[in-house]
Amino acid sequence: MEKFKDISVSIKQHLAYVEINRPPNNFFDANLIQQIADAYESLDEEDECRVILLKSEGKNFCAGANFGQDEDMLDKSVPYKKLYAQAVRLFRTRKPVIAIVQGAAIGGGLGLALSADFRVACHEARFAANFAKLRKVLCLDARSMADASAKEIKDSENDLSINKYNQQNVA
Residues 155-166 have pLDDT tens digits of 444 444 444 444
Distance CA 45, CA 124 (A): 35
Q: Is the pTM of this model over 0.95?
A: no
pLDDT in tens, 18-56: 999 999 999 999 899 999 999 999 999 999 999 999 999
Cα separation, 73 vs 90, in Å, equals: 19
Helix, strand, coil percentages (3-state) for the chain, rounded to 5, are 40, 25, 35
- Listed by start position, the domains of the chain span 7-141
Share of the chain above pLDDT 70, in %: 68
Whole-number pLDDT of residue 129: 83
Q: Please, which residues bridge with residue 17 across strands?
A: 10, 53
Contact indicator for 139, 109 with CB cutoff of 8 Å: no
Q: Does the pLDDT value for residue 106 go beyond 60?
A: yes
7-141: CATH number: 3.90.226.10
